[in-house]
Structures are given as C-alpha cells and as structure tokens.
Structure 1
Amino acid sequence: MLLWNLVRGILPVGYCLHRKIPSFDPLCMRCEAPVETTIHVFRDCPNSSAFWSLLFNHLAPPGFDFHSFFNSSPTDRLCFNLTNSFTWKTIFVVGIWHLWNTRNMAVFENKMLFLNSTFNKFWVDYHHTLNLKQGQAAGSSSSTDSITRKWAPPHKGHFKLNTDGSWMALDNAGGGGVMRCEKGLWQVGFAINFNAMSAAAAELLAIKEGLLIVWARDIKQLELEIDAEALKMMLEDPDAFKNHDLGNAISDVVSIICRNWKVSIFHVNRSINCVADKLAAMGRSKIRRGEISLFHYPPAELFQDYASDIPEMVAI
C-alpha cells in the first residue's frame, strides 16, 4: 500500500495535506524544513540522507548509479529504483518502509529514532525478506537440488539445536526446536506458546528457550542452527544493537551463550530447518498460552520430516 500510494503521489505528507487543508502546517517534523514533500521524506531530509549514506556503506551494489539516485526527479527516481536489480529493489522498498515508519513516529508520537535504530530495524527486515525469498526458491527448486539440501548431523562430540519462531500477532505466537546428537538421533524437542511483538522477537524467544533446555542437560559443545541470518549477526555482535527494539532479548540470549560451554551459531536455509519450523507452528497453534511441551520422541505429525533429514533412520 505504501508503494502504491507513493507511485500515485497521494501519500499524506505535509505538502499534500496543506493543498487540501490550507490551514495545515506542511512543516517536516523531523528537521523542521518548511515543506515536507515525498522526495523530502525519502531522500532530502537530513535524517533520510544519513540513513542512505549508512546503508550504502554496507550494501552499495557494484556500479551503482549514485547520481541518478540522489539527483533525479521524484518520478525518475522511483522508476530508477523499481527497475533496478532484484536485490536493489528489495533494499529500496524495505528502506523506504522504515523511513516512512520513522517519519510517522515523529509526526504522531513526537518520537525521534536514532539513526542506528532505524538502520538496525531495516537490516533485520531486509534479511528476513531475503530469507523468505530463499525459502520460496528452495520450494520451487528441482528434486535433485532438494536432495542435496539436507540437515546434517553436528561434528563428533557435539549436539545440534535447531530452533524457529512462528508469529501472526502479539498474542498469536510460538516457538519450537529440537536437539539431536552426532548420529542425528532425537534427544529432546519442544513447542512453546508465548506473546511476541514481532517475528524476530518470536525467533529470539525460541532460541532462548532451546538454549535453556540444552543447558539443563549439561551439554558442553553445541551447534545452534537458525534460519534468520540477521539474528545470527545480531547475536555475534550484540553491542552494535543495544539501542535496537530487540536489544534486551538479544542480551538475554547472549548471556546464555556466554556461559561455561561452547556454542557455535550457524545460518541455514529455511528448507533445512523444517522440523523446528513445524514445532514452532505447533507451539503457536496447539499449545496453551504461556505453556511449553517437551517431546522426548518425535511427534507423529512430523516424524516423516525428521526421518527424511536422515534417510537411513527410516529403517531404525
């Protein structure tokens, strides 16, 4: 809807509202420029310019036409960004979404986000979008490719924990996970129901619960696999996300990881995390609010998914 309104030139920015309501002050609430236009919101406002500069420091595509991005007219700029590569279109759309949210917080809540907070929110959503696209691509890939993309047992002497979150709304969320040994055998699984503000928050709560379950079993070497690359980055560099909305949740998980054991974090494709994904969906839809169920054997409804991870186990 944001993009549709932007293309049609009907976003309720100060300039458009002033044209319909002459008494309305078209001032930009973020920088106090006298007139807030769409190009000002998404590019020319100092807050927006700083956001794009920070983004380009991390994600500038090779050979990117910076002149067209920063100097073209609103119509030409929109055309330039939406006819670019798929990767850049994804970056651009997620970026303007967060700039619009930042602008609305300034207008309706009189709250100014720090630049790093806006960028961190963008970074998480951008990687979640890429993960979703990767999952769709994996689902439509050839049967040969699907055979090669399998869950792999941990290294000798290690255990492996796969976790995932399932989120629809604040009060409709859950998580799940499974720990397996070096032979790929099921050790313990869980499904939990909880409140979560976002999909990323649900993933973090599932990771936290899974780590606590494993820690209670006195495991000393653990491989943690998750399908959210952005969360892996945040857990490995928590200080960079102290001001993020998820900062406290990240800190909670990191405090468990830093206990007296070795935890290695890996990112995997969503198709490889199938068992954890189904346990998370079970937690959201089948477990009572605030409760957790432990599974010492694979639940019947996902046994085939578990067995297909290690084909030879079907004969066990």
Structure 2
Amino acid sequence: MFFSCDLQVWLKKNGSSNPSRARFHQWPWTRIFSHACWLIWKAHCKQLFSEGIPSSLEVQQQCLFHLMEEVTMGTLSHKLLQHNHERSWTPPKEGEVRLDVDASIRQYSQATCDGVIRDATGEWIMGFEKALGAYPVSTAEILAIKTGLEVCKGLHISDIHVYSDSLEAINMLIKDSRTNHPFKEEIEETRKLLYEEWNVIISHANRENIHCADSMTRTVQVASQDVILYPEIPAWCREGFWRDKRTMAGG
C-alpha cells in the first residue's frame, strides 16, 4: 500500500510493518523506511535550492550505502568499503575472488583498462583488457572496476574483493557524483553493478600490490573496445604472478 490512504496512516503503517522483500531482506523494514524517507526529503530540498534532483536509482543506492554502515566495538565499518593496509599481495578469503584492476592513458588521451582475477590460493582465474576511448584517468579507473565486475558476472562469480590503486575513483563511486558530472552515466552504471545481488567489497591498494594488473596496463597495446580475456597467465604477467605467490600475506 503506497498513497492509497491518508499520509499519517501510511507513515504509521510503514513504520510498524515488515513486508516481504528481496533486495533489502537483511535489514528491518523500519530502518529501511526511515532511511528512504530521509533521502527523499534531502532530494526534495535539493530540488528546492536548484541543485538538481537525484534519480530514484540514486536514492536506492544511497539508501543501500547507509544501510551497509555498521558500528562494531565503537568502530564504524562498511560492508562495501574496506580499508586494508597490506604489505604484500593478500589472497581473498575462502570462497571469494580478488579482482585487481588498473587503467592508464595512452597517446591522444586514449584510455585502457586491465585486470586480474585470482582465488584464495592465489591461482589465476582470468585476466582481461579493454580499450575504453577518450577518458580522464579517474573515469578510466572507474571503468576498470566496471569492466572487472562485468567479467566476474560473466564467470558467475558472486563474492568479489576489488582492489584499485585509485582513491579518487573509489571516492567518486562511494559519494554522490552530482547531476552535473561530465561522466555521470559511467559512474552510475558502475555504481549500479556494485549494488547488485552479490557480495562486493572495494579496497584501495598500493600500486606494487596490484603488480600483475599494472604490468598488463603498461605492456599491452590494446586497440579493441571489446573485452579481451586471458584464461592463461600471459608472458608479461608471469614474473609478477609468481612473486605474489611467493610473498603473499598468509601464504
């Protein structure tokens, strides 16, 4: 029941009910409803002050982001964004994959992206590369995350820990991109993937800890805007791959 009754009755009913739902099933409905009302009110205020109004999809994503915040032992944590301070390449947890991504700008401002997917033992699952077109580096880094998630989706992988060396790209995905951002569509498409029905975590990594993805970006002269997949370790990644295997934390 939405607005088929008096507003006060509607608010009271939604504040005390617990309807069945698929997308937000892990949180109490009262928490979801209060967050959604607050975000709709914020959107209304933005419209009043001519700041542009977010789409319904943006409101849903913002709601999910806030719901994923938790306080444990007095410390704020987040299910999507995880702060890691790894000294060497760290394998993902059992049942997860680690997705390292990187991007670079080549001649005439043409961007490319690359990535490597590995399992909990550090074994190679898949590598990929793609020509993106003319983009600034921060947007290219976002599209590297998007491409990597699309590859994982194609491989039917649902538990993913993404590592990027671009804090700017991560912050742009987490925060409101605003309606006037020149690459708002690319940001929103990537953000939509993050909030799909799977388990995704994003962490920042130092460049030396995503060595394989970085070496692909520096070595490959990719021209295709189709994703090129590498089910086997390419020659230019072998040295970095075996270095990670020897030194990986927990190994």
Deviations 1:203-261 (A, max 9, x none): 12221111100011111211010001121122122x24443223221101011111110
Code of the aligned partner of 2:153: W
Unmatched 5+ residue regions in structure 2?
1-50, 52-85
How far off is 1:173 after superposition?
A: 2.2
Code of the aligned partner of 1:216: G
Query: Which residue pairs with 1:277 in the alignment?
Result: 214
Query: Which residue pairs with 1:256 in the alignment?
Result: 193
**Correspondent of 2:161 among 214, 219, 223:** 223
Contact 1:176 1:281 (8 Å CA) reproduced: no
**Correspondent of 1:156 among 89, 94, 97:** 94
- TM-score, normalised to structure 2, is 0.60
**Structure 1 segment 1-316 matched on structure 2, within 5 A:** 149-170=87-108, 172-237=110-175, 239-283=176-220, 285=221, 287-311=222-246
Instruction: Sort the Cα spacing of 1:181 and 1:197 in 2 relative to 1 into closer, same or farther, 3 A.
Output: same
Larger radius of gyration: 1
Instruction: Sort the Cα spacing of 1:242 and 1:267 in 2 relative to 1 into closer, same or farther, 3 A.
Output: farther
Code of the aligned partner of 1:176: D
State the structure with bigger RCO (CA 8 A, min sep 6), 1 or 2. 2
SS at match of 1:304: helix
CA distance in 2, matches of 1:229, 1:208: 15
Code of the aligned partner of 1:199: V
SS at match of 2:106: strand
- TM-score, normalised to structure 1, is 0.48
How far off is 1:312 after superposition?
A: 7.2
CA distance in 2, matches of 1:246, 1:149: 33
CA distance in 2, matches of 1:184, 1:253: 26
Code of the aligned partner of 1:249: E
CA distance in 2, matches of 1:215, 1:288: 23
Instruction: Sort the Cα spacing of 1:263 and 1:281 in 2 relative to 1 into closer, same or farther, 3 A.
Output: same
More helix per residue: 1
Instruction: Sort the Cα spacing of 1:241 and 1:298 in 2 relative to 1 into closer, same or farther, 3 A.
Output: farther
Instruction: Sort the Cα spacing of 1:241 and 1:150 in 2 relative to 1 into closer, same or farther, 3 A.
Output: farther
How far off is 1:152 after superposition?
A: 0.4
Contact 2:215 2:236 (8 Å CA) reproduced: no
User: Number of paired residues?
Assistant: 164
SS at match of 1:174: strand
Percentage of identical aligned residues:
28
Q: CA RMSD in A?
A: 2.1
How far off is 1:280 after superposition?
A: 2.2
CA distance in 2, matches of 1:202, 1:266: 17
Code of the aligned partner of 2:147: E
CA distance in 2, matches of 1:282, 1:192: 13
Contact 1:224 1:263 (8 Å CA) reproduced: yes
More strand per residue: 2
SS at match of 1:249: helix
Runs of 4+ in 1 over 4 A off after TM superposition: none
Unmatched 5+ residue regions in structure 1?
1-113, 115-147
CA distance in 2, matches of 1:196, 1:150: 33
Instruction: Sort the Cα spacing of 1:240 and 1:172 in 2 relative to 1 into closer, same or farther, 3 A.
Output: closer
Instruction: Sort the Cα spacing of 1:280 and 1:241 in 2 relative to 1 into closer, same or farther, 3 A.
Output: farther
Query: Which residue pairs with 2:14 in the alignment?
Result: none
Instruction: Sort the Cα spacing of 1:259 and 1:301 in 2 relative to 1 into closer, same or farther, 3 A.
Output: same
CA distance in 1, matches of 2:216, 2:189: 22
CA distance in 1, matches of 2:134, 2:230: 23
